[in-house]
Amino acid sequence: MASSAPALRSFNLALIQLGQIGTDKTKNIAHAREQVLKAASREDGPKPQLIVLPECFNSPYGATHFPTYAETIGYKPGEPYDPAKSESNTVRMLSSVAKETGTWLVGGSIPEREVSTGNLYNTATVYSPQGELVALHRKVHLFDIDIPGKITFKESETLTGGDSLNYFDTEFARIGLGICYDVRFPELVAIGARGGCQVFIYPGAFNMTTGPLHWQLLQTARAVDNQVFFGMCSPARDLSVGYHAWGHSLVVDPMGTVLAEAGHEEEIVHVRIDPQVFEEARAGIPVTTQRRFDVYPDVSA
């Protein structure tokens, strides 16, 4: 990670708990665009500087759907990339709406096809207010679980796991990225936080079995362990489709306080990120300087 993270400044964050994600990809993309415009044009409070969409927002969520809905992005960090000329309809829309609204945008995640290998990934892309694609995260830990009688899901039937940790710098924070099941692996956040990320944003879609048990618990744990802000943005729950998302898009502060939580329907959650909470947590409970790497290894080293 680059050594000097920007100082954390106050900013406004909006999570779009998107509904109406169906089988028509064109409609899914158009609806996401409408909701980004709606979030950006907020009139009952401060406008957001960062907007977030949920996991798998242009496709139904399911291993059998990913090959049909996958788009080629072709972005490689450090190489020139013009999102306006991307093969991906979704990338073109995300870039143009980030530019139109002048906001940072975490473009949820979409199924991605890498042409050279044929591999499919669950991929989040991030755009600057100028519409540049500035970061890409491929879900590292695939959601493969089997809880008999409750839920069996196997992303690895069609997806490959990503092989890198990712973040992006804005004028107000260094922001770490992950996708949904990645939240269960604390190393990602520990490494990112020690590399200067003060905020973590994970598009996610927990389910009706693990959602009530672990959705808030895991985000609170990551936030408190690392004294960071942690937010996850879910799709709205839709009982007419195969995968029933838990919803409850959430933002937790470094003291473990829930700053905002959605219900389970389509909704936009607005939150102010306050650096004072971050500074007071770290000053009052100085775990960031009390670690005993003489007793156990530093996973970020």
- Catalytic amino acids? 55, 139, 180
From 28, 115, 35, select the one nearest 75 (Cα to Cα).
115
Q: Check residue 210 for interaction with ligand LYUYDEPV (CB under 6 A).
A: yes
Bridge partners (DSSP) listed for residue 250: 232, 261
Least distance to ligand LYUYDEPV, CB of residue 70, Å: 16
Burial of 154 (0-12, 13-18, 19+ CB in 10 A): middle
Q: Which of 15, 70, 97, 180 binds ligand LYUYDEPV (CB under 6 A)?
A: 180
Nearest CB to ligand LYUYDEPV, comparing residues 155 and 253 = 155
Nearest CB to ligand LYUYDEPV, comparing residues 11 and 143 = 143
Question: Both tokens of residue 106?
Answer: 């975490």
Question: Both tokens of residue 138?
Answer: 């491929």
From 180, 73, 60, select the one nearest 119 (Cα to Cα).
73
Question: Both tokens of residue 14?
Answer: 């909006």
Q: Which of 69, 75, 127, 143 binds ligand LYUYDEPV (CB under 6 A)?
A: 143
Distances (CA, A) of 270 to 48, 49, 52, 252: 7, 11, 10, 12
User: Contact region for ligand LYUYDEPV (CB under 6 A) — 74-82, 86-94, 201-209, 248-256?
Assistant: 201-209
Q: Check residue 224 for interaction with ligand LYUYDEPV (CB under 6 A).
A: no
Least distance to ligand LYUYDEPV, CB of residue 143, Å: 3
**Placement of tokens 């003060």 in the chain:** 198
**Positions that interact with ligand LYUYDEPV (CB under 6 A):** 55, 143, 180-181, 184, 205-207, 210, 214
